[in-house]
Amino acid sequence: MTPLDFTVLAIYAVCVFGLAQWVSRDRDNHSKTTTDYFLAGRSLPWWAIGASLIAANISAEQIIGMSGSGYAIGLAIASYEWMAALTLLIVAKFLLPIFLKNNVSTMPEFLQQRYGPAVRSLMAVFWLALYIFVNVTSILWLGSIAVHAVTGVDQMTALVIIGVFALVYQLWGGLKAVALTDIVQVTLLVAGGLTITAIALNRIGGDHGVSLDGVGAGFADLMARYPEKFHMILGRDSPHYKELPGLSVLIGGMWIMNLSYWGFNQYIIQRALAARTLGEAQNGIAFAAYLKLLMPVIVVAPGLSALILAPHLGKPDQAYPEMLKLLPPGLLGLVFAALVAAIIASLAAKINSIATIFTLDVYRPFRPNTIDKDLVKIGRLAAIAATGIGILAAPPLLGGFEQAFQYIQEFTGFFTPGIVVIFVLGMFWKRASAAAALTAAIGSAVLSLGFKLAAPELPFMDRVGVVFLISLAAAVVISLVRPARTEVSTVSLEGVSFRTGPIFNVAGIGVILILIALYRTFW
């Protein structure tokens, strides 16, 4: 990077930090309450919700990791993005109304309302461990790979800088600082991602400028030279069938993965829980669904382009950093700032949600009389601790993996079947009991490990589907044998409406039609 590139990056850092402090400033000497700090005062508009959902989701693990998987596997990895768009519509229509009707602040809080404190405590500890040791560490590690590759800065130094900046810029303002700056972060991410894809495809097409004709020519050349990389549904003869097993991406285990991630994941759903109204939240989720349809152009296409432009990479995860090297001075700084924006925004989202769960679901139940001012302080201390642990744990946990994105999916797949069982039964079946929820949570992990050891040839996505069905059956049986005490559950579906407004309905139909067209084209 040239001095001009570093100047562009510095301008970005100053602007996003300043904006975060400005939008989250206290007005009229008003001290932040827990609702202000953890749920942005329940005042987020639709555009902030949609942008923040994507900013929380798209980070180094998507940009670096999915580009690496695009390089190794092909366009099929885009199913994670495209099927997520459909999942978001389901979450908005059928799950969000229940959460908002019951005034839920965190996912563990909903579990206490439905099942009691034991399930809440178990899942709160689980999510804290998952977010710190999988999500935070993966963002830090993959982000530091990109920074090192482009700038030459020592990787550990880069890792520390990323962690500290993400912590500090949102430490005072909480969710509001994160969500209201995410529209800037996502705009930069989309613009930067489209730029690098356009330049890479133009280079493949033989044009060193940027034009739509060059993009088309480059894409056609790429498809002609690597046709096997452009099938969304992999056959059993594919060397990557184990990672993406055929129709399981459409009707199998990927649904369990997506429902768990988009519907019951604190750092994702927290944005929608902070909405002004249900309609505002649903429209924001529809906006996020369209951004998900666009994401493969940003996070998969560079990896595909590297098949021609950088065909001899040591590791697939080096694909995106290599594509950054195609950019001229100044533009490199801008696109690199977009990558840093994605890393920082997503990391800040995880840190804020860790602080939220620790404060509201671990600390407050033991000290219920703690005032809001002190709870906010506890949240800030939890954020600092989580960041420090993530920085120390990232190198030993992720340093040896070639495709970090696939590692993350397989690891979380040990637990997601049980999570989906717990929430789906808890929301839609009154007889589901706490004993059944604990059985599903623990049984999911045990069964997943058992299948992993006993049937290592079974694709992990199929394993997720099988474990879900077994866990579901076990939970139903346990609920019938040991019925729930009716006084335990305070969750109510009375007055919950699953009707959606015309804007959401039209947007939803558009998403479905686009998905049909994409899968017919690249089947």
Domain that holds residue 185: 3-407
Look at residue 403 and tell me whether its pLDDT is greater than 60. no
pLDDT tens, 153-178?
A: 899 999 999 999 999 988 888 888 88
CA angle in degrees (0–180, nearest 5) for 294-18-46? 40
Indicate which CATH number applies to the domain containing 306.
Answer: 1.20.1730.10
Look at residue 28 and tell me whether its pLDDT is greater than 70. no
Lowest-pLDDT range of 350-359, 455-464, 469-478: 455-464
351-385 residues labelled b (16+ CB within 10 A) or e (exposed): bbbbbbbbbbbbbbeeeeeeeeeebbebbbebbbe
Residue 422 falls within a domain, yes or no? no
Residue 342 falls within a domain, yes or no? yes
Q: Of 33-37, 180-184, 218-222, give the range with the top mean pLDDT.
A: 218-222
Identify whether the C-beta of residue 49 lies closer than 8 Å to the C-beta of residue 92.
no
Can you say whether residue 42 is alpha, beta or left, with left for phi > 0 and alpha for psi between -120 and 50 degrees? Answer: left
Residue 469 falls within a domain, yes or no? no
Identify whether the C-beta of residue 292 lies closer than 8 Å to the C-beta of residue 81.
yes
Q: What single letter denotes the amino acid at residue 459?
A: P
Give the C-alpha distances (Å, rounded to integers) separating 172 from 274, 407, 421, 519: 18, 33, 36, 44
DSSP string for residues in 130-195: HIIIIIIHHHHHHHHHHHHHHH---HHHHHHHHHHHHHHHHHTTTHHHHHHHHHHHHHHHHHHHHH
pLDDT tens, 109-128?
A: 999 999 999 999 999 999 99
Residue with tokens 């620790």: 358
- State the first-to-last Cα distance of the chain, in angstroms, to the nearest integer: 40
Residue 51 falls within a domain, yes or no? yes
CA angle in degrees (0–180, nearest 5) for 347-268-129? 60
Q: Sign of the C-alpha dihedral, residues 493, 499, 503, 504?
A: positive
pLDDT tens, 240-266?
A: 898 899 888 898 889 999 999 999 999
Looking at residue 94, what DSSP letter applies? I
Per this entry, what is the length of the chain?
523
Residue 487 falls within a domain, yes or no? no
Look at residue 406 and tell me whether its pLDDT is greater than 70. no
Residue 445 falls within a domain, yes or no? no
Residue 467 falls within a domain, yes or no? no
Residues near 479 by beta carbon (within 8 Å), at least 6 away in sequence: 425, 429, 431, 432, 433, 435, 436
Q: Rounded to an integer, what distance in angstroms lies between the CA atom of residue 62 and that of residue 33?
A: 33
pLDDT tier for residue 405 given thresholds of 50, 70 and 90? low
Q: Which is nearest to 36 in space by CA: 218, 211, 172?
A: 172
pLDDT tens, 85-114?
A: 999 999 999 999 999 999 999 999 999 999
Residue 504 falls within a domain, yes or no? no
Residues near 234 by beta carbon (within 8 Å), at least 6 away in sequence: 76, 240, 241, 244, 245, 246
pLDDT of residue 40: 84
Look at residue 134 and tell me whether its pLDDT is greater than 60. yes
Q: In total, how many domains does the chain have? A: 1
44 phi and psi, to 5 degrees?
A: -75, 135
Q: Rounded to an integer, what distance in angstroms lies between the CA atom of residue 349 and that of residue 351?
A: 5
Identify whether the C-beta of residue 53 lies closer than 8 Å to the C-beta of residue 268.
yes
